[in-house]
Every structure is written in structure tokens, then in C-alpha cells.
Amino acid sequence: MIDAALIWSYLTQGSLIWLTATILAFVAGDWCFRRTGRAPWANPVMLAILIIGALLLGTGTPYTTYFEGAQFVHFLLGPATVCLALPLYLNLGHVRRAALPMIAALLAGSATAVVSALAIAWAMGVRGGVLASLAPKSATAPVAIGISQQLGGEPTLTAALVLLTGIIGAIAVTPMLNALGLTDWRARGFATGVAAHGVGTARALQVNETAGAFAGIGMALNAVLTGILAPLVLHLFQ
């Protein structure tokens, strides 16, 4: 079937097929996520990445070819970051009422995330661009990718590290904070948003509405703070 082979090679060079595959894989991932009752380990983004990754390796398609199509989706990360102004604005009332605990928890949580991650990786021999890719991993993905680029990191590695951070946080947060005996939903949600961005926020929303709102604020505030902290802390390790 020379025709089919020709059509296939023509399609795999174009944007349309990889753009379609990206959305199809995400829809499939999202279906699995719903079927498991939204279990944190069945994260739809992770499943979509596994599907497309297997497809690229299986067909021998280089990532750059894939990205030529998928960049149209990727581009929207910037405008989406700007739009995070909306949840930030809608929660300003919460921010005003609990300003002091929030500022303290934001500084402590954000600094702990960056310093401990870099210290552990550095102690285990990680250096250079890989260390720079790790520094912003607690910020929400569009922001973390932007920071990583500015620091000389590898944006694709950062994207994977950010995603894993969110999944780890979402799986661990409830059992861990229960064990610590923390009962204030504001504290639980806020700390989750700061350390585990959107994936953690989605998890907090499932558990408690107040926790979800505070997680959203934590994520937005840490997007700003990580931009300032990550370069400073990274400098200490270089």
C-alpha cells in the first residue's frame, strides 16, 4: 500500500495530525481520570503525555516535528497565565481577611520548596541546566516554563517536573496533613496551592470548597514569588 504510506508520511510532517493527536490523547486521558473517580494518580495530562510519547517513539517521529503542530496549543500558556488574574481578583476578599498568615505561609512554603529541592538534587550531583529546570517546579506550569527558559533550563524537563510535583502533592496532601493534625481548611488549601500548583488545587477543590479557594490563591501568589525566588536560590547553588 504505497498510497497509504505516502499519505501517512505527508500527514506526519504537517501540523494537523499532531494537533489532533494532542487533543485526542487528552480526551482519552480525561476519560480515564473520570472513570477512576478523579484519582490523583490517573492525572489526565500525565496519561496524555504517555500516549503521545509512546506514539512518537513508536513511529520514530522527532519531538521537534511533533511540536511544530502542538505549538498552537502550547502558545496559549502565556495568555492563560495572564488570565490567572481572574481567580486572584475573585479571591481578594479572602486575601485581605487572612493577609498575615498567607504572607507568612507563602514565604515559608515557597522558600522550602525551592531550597529543599535544589539542595537535595545538588547533593546528589545534579548541576547546570538540569538544576535550573528543577528550580521553579512548584510554580504553575506556564510560569515555571517561562522561568526555566530565563534561567537557562530545559523547558520540556521543567514541564514534566512540574507535573510530577503536582501529582505527588495531590496524592500525599490529605493523609499527611491529617497525620500532622492540621484542621484549618484555609491553611491546608493554601499550602497545597503554593507547593503543588493547579494539580494540587484541583485536589483541594475535591476535598473542601474553602480549601480549594485558598489553594487557588496560593498557586497565583506563588507564581509571582517563584519568579523572584527561583533565580536567587539557584544562584546560591552555582
Partner 1 sequence: MPPLLAAILTIFLFQLGGEVLTRFAHLPIPGPVIGMVAMAAGFVLSPRLLALVRPVAQTLLGHLSLLFVPAGVGIVSQIDVIRQQGVALILALVVSTLLAIAVGAVVFELVARATGNPPPEGAERRK
Of 143, 153, 212, 217, the one binding partner 1 (CB under 8 A) is 143
Give Dmax (Cα) for the chain.
69
Q: Which of residues 93-112 bind partner 1 (CB under 8 A)?
A: 97-98, 100-102, 104-106, 108-110, 112
Give the Cα-Cα-Cα angle 62, 81, 98 (nearest 5 degrees). 140
SS3 content of the chain, % helix, strand, coil (to 5): 85, 0, 15
Task: Give 11 or 176: the residue with its C-beta nearer to partner 1.
Answer: 176
Grid coordinates representing 30 are 480525561
Q: Provide the sign of the torsion angle of the four alpha carbons 77, 40, 192, 124, taken in this order.
A: negative
Nearer to partner 1, 6 or 104 (CB): 104
Minimum distance of partner 1 from residue 166's CB (angstroms): 9
By CB under 8 A, tell whether 165 contacts partner 1: yes
Residue 184, interface with partner 1 (CB under 8 A)?
A: yes
* Site map 41..80 versus partner 1, x via CB under 8 A: ---xxx-xx--xx--xx----xx--xx--xx-xx-xxxxx
- What are the backbone angles phi and psi of residue 90, rounded to the nearest 5°? -65, -25
132, 194, 217, 233: which one contacts partner 1 (CB under 8 A)?
194
- The packing angle between helices 185-207 and 99-123, to 10°, is 80
Nearer to partner 1, 9 or 64 (CB): 64
